[in-house]
Structure 1
Amino acid sequence: MAKRSPRLKTLMAAALSLALVSTSCGTNSGAVGSDNSAGLPTTLVVATGDYKVPTSFLNKKGELDGLNVDLTRALGRRLGVEMKLVAVPFDAVIPGIQSGRFDTALFNVSDTPERRAVVDLVDYAPSGTVIVTRKNDRKGITANPLTLCGRTVAVKAGQTEFNILNKDVSPKCKETGEPAINFQTFKDDNGLEFAVETGRADAFLGGTTVTPYFVSRNSDTFEIVGKLPIALDPLGMPFAKGRDDLVGAVLAAWKEIWQSGEYERIAKKWSLQSIVPNDISLFTVNGGDKS
């Protein structure tokens, strides 16, 4: 049997007493914290990226750095285990967890129905979208999606928010006698930012896991006018099905980090306070369909 960290066993017991996973994972075998044959490792292999500032990237020393890296280390301290970070392409995360190559990942993975079908996800952050304009040039745009009516908005191809605005908001613009939203589509963030900076677009949409950091570093050019009131799937840490003991311990650790204020301190360091959950109830297992 693999060695258990004393700290991890304590969190497992807490997870069991609170029945954190039994009500969320349903069909997984084995009770949380049970002394099963698999045991719990003293080292967890955690997949992440190395290219996305400020969540996970290589710094000037060639070391992994960023919000996800700091949060992973905070989890390791709470669990009392070593967290071995491995940089991989995003599309390698779920297959790697299913095959046992990784124990989990902290890689901005959304808790979607498709992913819940093959892994369990410990939800740890809300996902959302902010509207960005040029500094002091909002043109009446606010967090209300209807203020985008008649405006030119830069979006990324396939972006969820684009589909929502195009299908739901633009028709409402017409119903109220306003022009529809004029969309300009780009392949990446650089295109969105350049379009707004040069005045080709009035605003662009960006995710709450990256955009606030970018704007804070370019505050003389851009400003965030608000967050779209559109519910998206939360971000989650994926685990292979059947690892209820580990899932329960990690869930308990996330709650401790949040309650202690450490989560907020780490997020503030990276100008990403918007991802910190407002309520402890967000921390759950497979909660994407409840968001």
Structure 2
Amino acid sequence: MKTLAFASALALAAGIASAQDVVRMGTEGGYPPYSFINDAGEPDGFEIELGNALCERAGLTCQWVTNEWDSIIPNLVSGNYDTIMAGMNITPERDEVIDFTQDYIPATPSSYVGLSADVDPAGAVVAAQATTIQASHVAGTGATLLEYATQEEAVAAMRNGEADAVFADTDFLAPIVESSGGELTFIGEPVPLGGGMAMGLRESDAELRARFDEAISAMKADGSLNELLAKWFAEDAPGY
């Protein structure tokens, strides 16, 4: 009986440990190549592949959860998942609400795109995704800002004439411009914003953040993070 009781206790403890090793990873799933939903209906992209690699190195199991961008931080804080990997730049405003790992994408520029290179962004109607650093930047330029729930909706607004230009991460816009057959063009010079992209966590999860920081450092050190950046962005993508 004691042996059975002891075995049951070990099994229960193992089950609890296993449950604790599952980390729910929040992502938008609508921001290629960072994250998107593939043809099989599953989250895919740079951050999904990176997140799975980081979990493996940290001895954790990733469980991906998709969430709309405008509520992605509140749902992290509320405990609906444990991390955010969604093309999120480190900013002082966000850092007051949540914690961040070290960056896994260096600070990269944002750009304006429109139907004509003659558009002056300072006096234009500019579309951007709501609650992003791009929307905040546009709001401070004197341009008329139109905010949309997703990046795709912001691009569509520019295409159909609701806005003169769209402002977003250059890496997101580049393949859209390239595949437009000359319809779309970059406007002006890229604009550096943010402190790099990183994983967001609750401020109370310092131990989990440390485990992911260690894994990110290891991937930087052995070159595997640079390999992923080159795979999903470009061979000459900024790296570490």
1:108 to 67, 87, 100: 87
Match of 1:239 among 201, 213, 226: 201
Of the three residues 185, 189, 195, the one matched with 2:155 is 189
Change (3 A) 1:185 1:49: closer
How far apart are the structure 2 equivalents of 1:160 and 1:116?
16
Q: Deviations over 1:39-91 (max 9, x none)?
A: x9422111112333332222111111122212212212322321111112234
Of the candidates 197, 208, 228, which is equivalent to residue 170 of structure 2?
A: 208
Alpha-carbon offset, residue 2 of structure 1: 7.8
Letter in 2 for 1:80: G
Cα gap change, 1:213 to 1:103, in 2 (>3 Å): same
Q: Report what 1:132 is aligned to.
A: 113
1:160 maps to which residue? Answer: 136
Which residue of the partner structure matches residue 267 of structure 1? 229
Residue 62 (structure 1) aligned to one of 17, 26, 41: 41
Instruction: Please say if residues 212 and 272 of structure 1, whose CA atoms lie closer than 8 Å, have aligned partners that are also in contact.
Output: no
Give the secondary structure class of the aligned counterpart of 2:141.
helix
Amino acid at match of 1:131: Y
- The amino acid of 1:156's aligned partner reads A
CA distance in 1, matches of 2:169, 2:223: 23
Aligned Cα root-mean-square deviation (Å) = 3.7
Moved over 6 A (4+): none
Q: Which runs of 5+ in 2 are unaligned?
A: 1-11, 149-153
Match of residue 23 from structure 2: 44
**CA–CA distance in structure 2, aligned partners of residues 273 and 225 of structure 1:** 24
| Identity, % of aligned positions | 21
Corresponding residue number in structure 2 for 1:23: none
User: For 2:117 and 2:182, how far apart are their aligned partners in 1?
Assistant: 14
Choose between structure 1 and 2 for higher RCO, CA contacts under 8 A separated by at least 6 residues: 1
Q: Which residue of 2 aligns with 1:251?
A: 213
SS at match of 2:158: helix
Q: Does 1:75 align with 2:51?
A: no
TM-score, with structure 2 as normaliser? 0.69
| Larger relative strand fraction | 2
Which position in structure 2 is the counterpart of 1:90? 69
